[in-house]
Structure 1
Amino acid sequence: MDFIKIGVAIGSGMVRSGLRAIMAFAAALVAGGLSASAATFDRTTLSDGAEAILLSGTIEYGDVETFRALSIKYQDAVILLDSDGGSVAAAIEIGKMIRIAGYPTLVSQDSVCVSACALIWLAGAPRLLSPEGSIGFHASYRNVGGRKEETGVGNALVGHYLTLLNLPQRAVIFATTAPPDKLRWLTAENKTESGIDFEYLERDDRKDDGQAAAKADAKAGGRKVAMPPPVIITSQPAPKVEPGQPVAPQPSVKPTVAELSAYLRGEMAKPETIRNLIVAMKLAKDDYPIMENHLIALSGNKKLWDHISKEVLGAMSATETEGDSFKFGGLLAKSEAKRLYYLGISRMKIEDIKEFVKYNYILSRNLNYKDCNGYFNGGVSDEGLIYRTLSSVRREDLEGFLMLYRRGIEAGLSDHLVDVVLKPEQIDVAGKTYVKLMVDRIMKLPKMDQDRIFAAIDPKDDAEVSDKDACEAQQILYGTMHDMDGALASWKLRDFANSLAR
């Protein structure tokens, strides 16, 4: 029901998984361009008995869950890196897990770790680098028509991540000042200037350097190790930083509310974003214009984006010590959007509340039992299901539902509307009338059905309620409320809407 699930997931990730929650608000902001192929993870045991996890190839956000599973299984390992980068959002999430687990990170001989990969390497404790390995950084960017366009908001979010790793200000500057099409290499000569502490790992410091062992296994006919594609950003050797080279001003640790809001509105209004969202909902072609108008209207609501941006940035600051601020921010944004909608419904006219009840009654009658029970209990993962169902009944119902949603958001954001409060005696008499009408409705059913519905409406402790019974109970509850008339109906509808806001 809340538009964050279907309308705020900006950029390439879209609406495919709940974990992309800040991919409601972080993935598209900091993505360095998503690739068509995910990273490859291989594991080997080094000759000294230590476990090693090799990450190679282009990094995507789906790799976060792959790495999470490996981190649970192998709690004491060294992370070997050989990648030309990918999604910065994924790198940040993987980096947080590495820091929490206390893994060392290593770029070994003949390996290259640049862009998003370098952000993962920074999370290591310790950070290890072979003299023959290469670490390179550049500013965050997004792809605009095949052109790499630097994003200040992305750089700021990278800066926020680096502060979580306790890196100094000069490390933020070092990691974000090279243009998107160039690299700033980390070397022994600029180690102090960069503010990034690391240890050189000479070839004879270990019996195996991890990646060399993995390559040897492959040559010997053992487990195949997928090697990364060649680095195409630059073929030049790591340049030395010349004294007096101008350095860009340090980006802020996090974006301002105005910066984040403007960026989100701009991304949301892009035709390709809107098109991808609609395709993900699996709507009928005839419904495309309706949903397109809805998403365009939401993208233009500056007050909404300002409000959401403020809440998300506040959540980021509040959860810094937990290392999970991005994910929490996305969850908060979804919850806040729903709260605004329900708050708005409670402030609207009785006719609007009755319309809200009508759409829920339609859904209870037209969804299959499993989806119906999931919808009313917050367990529907198919983002377009509700819209397809309403349209299948009447296309006008889909359009009316979306219009009501936008009006509800507006009312929830309003500084001028006063919440309508009922007197206790009004709530009491309206509630008793509603219960009587509901019981009369149930008593018209066959005796077996009466018992099922009563048990579903008021289940005993630990009693299981089937999807069928739960859905038919919702039909009774919403149907009774929708059919009520007069002053008592107004009081009941208002009390119901106030309960949603609470």
Structure 2
Amino acid sequence: MVSRLAAIDDGNIIRAAFFALLIGTASVLYVDFRELALSEPAALAPALTPILPPADPGSGVEGRPMPHITSSPETLDAPLAITLESGGDLKLAGTIDPGSAIRFRTEIEQRGEYVKTVVLDSPGGSVMDALEIGALIQEKGLATKVAAGNLCASSCPIIFASGAERLASADSAIGVHQIYAASLGEASRDAMAVAGVAMADAQSTTAEITRHLTKSGVDPALWLHALDTPPDRLYYFSREEMQRLKLVTQLIEN
């Protein structure tokens, strides 16, 4: 028996543990939604869809040092601004609002031959837009970067992880947290059905994020920290974690 266990590849053990945690998380979500639906059905009346909310950079996880963020709150709160800068840098600054992916694709189609690196400074936002932006970055083979004092949180690390080269300053802040369900504003008569759809969408989105990270060569175990961290908090990665999880290909010392 011992010899059989010793023969099992460590990677297979880690992957099995990762997917077991996903299943366990889904089960807990279902129980929570079911209890809420039975006790307060009106609370789940709107249809739900999973998103990653823009993060509060001050909401660090207890016991972890707070990164020094110099980005202005006004910049982070504004809808995503896309600016072509010198040296082939395309800067994405602000909240990833719905429609950001369309604007990003338009910019790449118009001036893509000049763009070499996508520079990020964002508290996150729409996860689907982040995945679409990330997919285009992968397709074009662009690099990504988070500069000193800048923030890349919530859904922003999905974009950052898409780069062929991923450069991050040792003085940048990169953090993740859980997907949560937000209202689409559509009425629903069946709160349990709404809860089931929300749970299914959250699982589907998590699977898509995992595939996206794997395609870029990033360790999907990175997303375990998102699953463990409530939506109103952030798990900031240390420089050691960024390197070990292959989130960065180069850590820039300042």
TM-score past 0.5 threshold: yes
**Partner SS for 2:85:** strand
The CA deviation at 1:158 is: 1.8
Structure 2 equivalent of residue 173 of structure 1 = 224
What letter is aligned with 2:79? A
Q: Give the distance between the partners of 1:100 and 1:129, measured in 2 at CA.
A: 21
Equivalent of 2:167 in 128, 135, 158: 128
Kindly tell me: are residues 43 and 158 of structure 1, through their superposed partners in 2, closer, same or farther at Cα, counting changes over 3 Å?
Answer: same
Q: 1:108 to 1:170 in 2, by over 3 A?
A: same
Equivalent pairs: percent with the same residue?
27
Secondary structure of residue in 2 paired with 1:89:
helix
Once the two structures are TM-superposed, the CA of residue 34 in structure 1 deviates from its matched residue by: 8.2
1:262 aligned residue: none
**In the alignment, what sits opposite 2:104?**
67
Q: TM-score, normalised by structure 2?
A: 0.59
Quote the offset at 1:52 in angstroms: 1.1
**Distance between the aligned counterparts of 1:155 and 1:177, measured in 2?**
13
Counterpart check, 1:118 vs 2:131? no
Q: Distance in 2 between matches of 1:112 and 1:69?
A: 24
Question: Residue 169 and residue 153 in structure 1: after superposition, are their counterparts in 2 closer, same or farther (change >3 A)?
Answer: same
Shift in CA distance, 164/132, structure 1 to aligned 2, threshold 3 Å: same
Deviation at 1:190, TM superposition (A): 2.1
Question: In the superposition, relative to structure 1, how do residues 167 and 175 fare at CA in structure 2: closer, same or farther (>3 Å)?
Answer: farther
Q: Which has the higher contact order (CA 8 A, sep 6+)?
A: 2
1:141, 1:154 within 8 Å by CA — same for their partners in 2?
A: no
How many Å apart are 1:59 and its aligned residue? 0.5
Deviation at 1:58, TM superposition (A): 0.7
**19, 40, 43: which is aligned to 2:84?**
43
CA deviation after TM superposition for structure 1 residue 116, in Å: 1.0
Residue deviations 1:177-206 (CA, integer Å, cap 9, x gap): 322122111222323553434311234xxx
Q: Contact 2:117–2:144 at 8 Å: present in 1 too? A: yes
Distance 1:167 1:185, change over 3 A: same
- Length, aligned pairs only: 169
| Separation in structure 2 between the aligned mates of residue 179 and residue 202 of structure 1, nearest angstrom | 30
Larger Rg: 1
Say if 2:148 and 2:170, in contact at 8 Å, map to a contact too.
Answer: yes
- 1:303-452 equivalent positions in 2, closer than 5 A: none
SS at structure 2 position matched to 1:123: coil
SS in 1 for 2:119: strand
Within a 5 Å distance, the mapping from 1:77-476 to structure 2 comes to 77-143=116-182, 151-203=202-254
Q: Secondary structure at the match of 1:65?
A: helix
Q: Distance in 2 between matches of 1:177 and 1:152?
A: 14
User: RMSD of the TM alignment (CA)?
Assistant: 2.8
- Distance (Å, rounded) in 2 between the aligned partners of 1:124 and 1:82: 15
Q: Which amino acid aligns with 1:140?
A: I
Higher strand share: 2
Deviations 1:404-433 (A, max 9, x none): xxxxxxxxxxxxxxxxxxxxxxxxxxxxxx
Q: Is the 8 A contact 1:170 1:195 kept in 2?
A: no
Question: In structure 2, what is the Cα distance between the partners aligned to 1:134 and 1:82?
Answer: 9
Q: Which has the higher helix share?
A: 1
C-alpha distance after superposition, 1:367-424 (max 9, x if no partner)? xxxxxxxxxxxxxxxxxxxxxxxxxxxxxxxxxxxxxxxxxxxxxxxxxxxxxxxxxx
Kindly indicate whether the alpha-carbon contact (under 8 Å) linking 2:50 and 2:182 is maintained by their aligned counterparts in 1. Answer: no
SS of structure 2 residue aligned to 1:190: helix
Amino acid at match of 2:107: L
- What's the offset of the Cα at 1:39? 0.8
Which amino acid is the alignment partner of residue 94 of structure 2? G
Instruction: Give the TM-score normalised by the residue count of structure 1.
Output: 0.31
Give the SS at the match of 2:163: coil
Whether 1:56 aligns to 2:93 is yes
